Amino acid sequence: MQIYKAPLRDMRFVIHETLDAEQLSKLPGYEEATPDTIDAILEEGAKFCEDKLLPLNRVGDEAGCTYENGVVRTPPGFKQAYDEFVGAGWLSISSDPKYGGQGLPALMNFVIEEMVCSTNLAFGVCPLLSGGAAALIARHGSEAIKDTYLPHLADGSWSGTMCLTESHCGTDLGLIHTKAAPAGDGVYRISGSKMFISAGEHDLAENIIHLVLAKLPDAPEGVRGISLFLVPKINVKADGELGPRNGVSCGSIEKKMGIHGSATCVLNFDEAEGYLIGEAHKGLRCMFTMMNGARLGVGMQGLALGETAYQSATAYAKERRSGKSLAKGAKSADKADPIIVHPDVRNMLLTQRAHNEGARALAYWTALNLDISTHHPDAETRRDADELVQLMTPIIKAFLTDRGFEATNLAVQVHGGHGYIAEHGMEQLVRDARIAQLYEGANGIQALDLVGRKLGQNTGRLLRHFFHPATEFVAAHQDDETLKEIVLPLAKALGKLQQATLVIAQKGLGDPEEAAAVATDYLKMFGLVAVGYMWAMMAEKAAAKANGDADGDGRYYANKLKTARFYMYKLLPESAALFLRIMTGKAAIAQYDDEDF
Ligand SMILES: Cc1cc2nc3c(=O)[nH]c(=O)nc-3n(C[C@H](O)[C@H](O)[C@H](O)COP(=O)(O)OP(=O)(O)OC[C@H]3O[C@@H](n4cnc5c(N)ncnc54)[C@H](O)[C@@H]3O)c2cc1C
């Protein structure tokens, strides 16, 4: 059975004790984000997700979305849950108050996103896209466009999509065929076909606002010739009321491996009315506002499913009996012990847990920096925070989704044969988690973004926003008796990561294929070290409190230290193998001709 209780204690530990998110309420515009408000939101969000979304997760998987004559229906219960979700304001938690949002920090949106996706990933796709569409319009839309669309995206009466992919191209958007023809008065006629468009058609909202990449008649070749258009499903009249249907229709929905409750649509644009967003031919730049937000959101999806996988597997391991404990002195009278006594099972559970808790800290740390990047009064501090977010975005997207998938797979393993059976819900978690490694830029593309763009950007300044604080932390704590066994492995891995960075930067200058060949290994290594840094920070906070009340919070802190140790002993060492792989460069990969495959 899928089991989930929002890990509120852990969330609070990261937010308040590790990251000191109280600093948020000192930023102009975030005065209301006090620790009490944050805690109240966590409690309410948890209730909603546990009570309303979790019971619909299996329904959504089994019933799926249906398609009939261009009409898409979401699974039973989804519409009511959506209405309650938007009615309670969960969609607009971080949106601009000027347009009906609540103006709370992006960090709160991350936390809610985690809970939503832990309980029902398919349900979470539509709100993620609406939030992304709103962020894009807020940043790049004209005042008139903002006034017309943002209030509806905030209250959930309209939803958003991102329309990039076409049948022949997903990664290489320079190849798109969709066309835009100027029709006067600022209107463009959009024609072409997009595929794999999430929430492209559904019955949750009155209108759907598509953000569509297309090419103008005079467009230069490739990605430099892409423009961005806003295309409503139903045209909006000058008075803001809904008008006639626009020339966009859903041709079909995909039958797919997971997230059955989210419709993945073919959308046909037939001279549909659209409005240019940003400058002509520079649309991809604007679209990156939405894509970067969505990449962070998809990373949260990976973490979210990893958490449900851990909780479900733990509950099962405590119930299921098989074999006897090998621990010295363990002699229960029962014929068999719960499988949680077995080292191999504990290892699987702790692998999930140590990753989840560390990844949560990494994601929230990134979210905190996102808030600093938009709300801090000092321009240089804003810039530095923004650069850290840029650096972390591909890592959050790829590392958290790869490890989230692994966590769901481990949950199947802990369940034995029962994990393979639909009734327990573990195989659904695996199927649902798999998409997060693919959409919003496949994980291999995230790795190329990290080595190709982020490494060298501003002569390595982005990297320094990670390496400097991590190195300072190590220097400050490596002689601490309690923390030594946690900080020293981190120091070693951090040093190797810096060495690998230099090697890639040097080799990549002469031969970009060298950098590309090791990009995925490098991203994994970076992810492991970044999560290791989070564990060291958490251990430092926990160490001071671990000797308190053994049955209450003291136990929580003591367990934090134990999990930090597990991470350093069992997970971080993988970075040493990745280092060796990186050092061998492209030679073993490049030795074949294409025909030899
Ligand atoms: C369920 C679902 C929902 C989706 N939702 C949306 C949506 O809402 N909007 C939208 O626009 N799209 C959506 N997509 C599309 C998704 O973003 C793309 O499928 C994804 O970006 C990969 O593109 P592709 O499928 O064309 O694969 P390809 O680009 O053909 O890539 C295939 C493989 O080759 C690798 N590859 C490709 N190019 C390179 C390169 N230059 N260097 C190294 N490796 C490379 C990739 O990493 C990948 O492993 C969705 C897809 C699915 C399945």
pLDDT band at 545 (very low <50, low <70, confident <90, very high): confident
pLDDT band at 544 (very low <50, low <70, confident <90, very high): confident
Q: 87-110: per-residue pLDDT in tens?
A: 999 999 999 999 999 999 999 999
Write the CB contacts of 123 (distance below 8 Å, at least 6 apart in sequence).
53, 56, 57, 60, 78, 81, 82, 85, 116, 261, 262
Classify residue 214 by its DSSP letter: E
Instruction: For ligand 1, say whether the CB of 437 is within 6 Å of any of its atoms.
Output: no
pLDDT at 329: 80
DSSP assignment of 270-315: EEEEEEEESSTTBHHHHHHHHHHHHHHHHHHHHHHHHHHHHHHHHH
Residue 129 CA: which ligand 1 atom is closest?
A: 8
The answer, yes or no, to whether residue 259 has pLDDT greater than 90, is: yes
Nearest-CA residue for atom 7 of ligand 1: 197
Nearest-CA residue for atom 1 of ligand 1: 264
Instruction: For ligand 1, say whether the CB of 435 is within 6 Å of any of its atoms.
Output: yes
Three-state SS for 215-275 is ECCCCCCHHHHEEEEEEECEEECCCCCEEEECCEEEEEECCCCCCCCCCEEEEEEEEEEEE
pLDDT band at 303 (very low <50, low <70, confident <90, very high): very high
Active-site position among 273, 307, 440, 514: 440
Token readout for 458 is: 């501003």
Domains of the chain, residue spans = 8-66+75-146, 157-281, 443-590
Token readout for 391 is: 């650096």
Question: What gap in Å lies between CA 91 and CA 87, rounded to an integer?
Answer: 9
Question: Cα(320) to centroid of ligand 1, in Å?
Answer: 40
% residues pLDDT > 90 (the chain): 96
pLDDT at 210: 98
Instruction: For ligand 1, say whether the CB of 163 is within 6 Å of any of its atoms.
Output: yes
Question: Cα(456) to centroid of ligand 1, in Å?
Answer: 25
Q: Which fold has domain 443-590?
A: Butyryl-CoA Dehydrogenase, subunit A; domain 3 (1.20.140)
Instruction: For ligand 1, say whether the CB of 451 is within 6 Å of any of its atoms.
Output: no
Q: 36-85: per-residue pLDDT in tens?
A: 999 999 999 999 999 999 999 999 999 999 999 999 999 999 999 999 99
Closest alpha carbon to 296 in 359, 357, 352, 213: 359
Question: Cα(438) to centroid of ligand 1, in Å?
Answer: 6
Which helix (H) or strand (E) element contains residue 191?
strand 188-198
- Per the DSSP assignment, residues forming a β-bridge with 72 are 67
Token readout for 346 is: 């504990």
Question: What gap in Å lies between CA 271 and CA 269, rounded to an integer?
Answer: 6
pLDDT at 550: 62
Q: Which of 172, 173, 196, 264, when mutated, tests ligand 1's pocket best, judged by the most ligand atoms within 8 Å of its CB?
A: 196
Question: What gap in Å lies between CA 513 and CA 1, rounded to an integer?
Answer: 46
Q: What is the mean pLDDT of residues 127-149?
A: 97
Question: What gap in Å lies between CA 153 and CA 133, rounded to an integer?
Answer: 8
Closest alpha carbon to 466 in 365, 316, 579: 365
Residue 262 CA: which ligand 1 atom is closest?
A: 1
State yes or no: is 440 an active-site residue: yes
Residue 254 CA: which ligand 1 atom is closest?
A: 1
Instruction: For ligand 1, say whether the CB of 174 is within 6 Å of any of its atoms.
Output: no
Task: Provide the strand spans (E) within 17-135.
Answer: 66-68, 71-73
Residue 163 CA: which ligand 1 atom is closest?
A: 11
pLDDT at 551: 62
Say which CATH class 8-66+75-146 falls into.
mainly alpha
Question: Cα(170) to centroid of ligand 1, in Å?
Answer: 4
- Per the DSSP assignment, residues forming a β-bridge with 250 are 267
CATH for 157-281?
Answer: 2.40.110.20
pLDDT at 553: 87
pLDDT at 546: 82
Instruction: For ligand 1, say whether the CB of 520 is within 6 Å of any of its atoms.
Output: no
Would 8-66+75-146 and 443-590 be classified into the same CATH topology?
A: no
Mean residue pLDDT of the chain comes to 96
Question: Cα(173) to centroid of ligand 1, in Å?
Answer: 10
Alpha-carbon separation of residue 413 from 309, 353, 388, 417, 506 (angstroms): 11, 15, 36, 8, 42
Angle CA(243)–CA(248)–CA(254) in degrees, nearest 5? 135
Q: Are 180 and 227 in contact (CB under 8 A)?
A: yes
DSSP assignment of 126-182: HHHHHHHHHHHHHHHS-HHHHHHHHHHHHHTSEEEEEE--BTTBSS-GGG---EEEE
Token readout for 502 is: 């230099």
Question: Cα(436) to centroid of ligand 1, in Å?
Answer: 11
Alpha-carbon separation of residue 285 from 289, 297, 476 (angstroms): 7, 19, 40
Q: What is the mean pLDDT of residues 212-221?
A: 96
The answer, yes or no, to whether residue 548 has pLDDT greater than 80, is: no
Instruction: For ligand 1, say whether the CB of 196 is within 6 Å of any of its atoms.
Output: yes
Relative orientation angle of helices 519-543 and 343-375, to the nearest 10 degrees: 90
Q: Are 393 and 445 in contact (CB under 8 A)?
A: no
Question: Cα(211) to centroid of ligand 1, in Å?
Answer: 17
The answer, yes or no, to whether residue 231 has pLDDT greater than 70, is: yes
The answer, yes or no, to whether residue 562 has pLDDT greater than 80, is: yes
Question: What gap in Å lies between CA 106 and CA 260, rounded to an integer?
Answer: 28
Angle CA(563)–CA(403)–CA(576) in degrees, nearest 5? 70
Q: 380-389: per-residue pLDDT in tens?
A: 999 999 999 9
pLDDT band at 391 (very low <50, low <70, confident <90, very high): very high
Q: What is the mean pLDDT of residues 221-241?
A: 96
Angle CA(317)–CA(322)–CA(328) in degrees, nearest 5? 90
The answer, yes or no, to whether residue 330 has pLDDT greater than 90, is: no
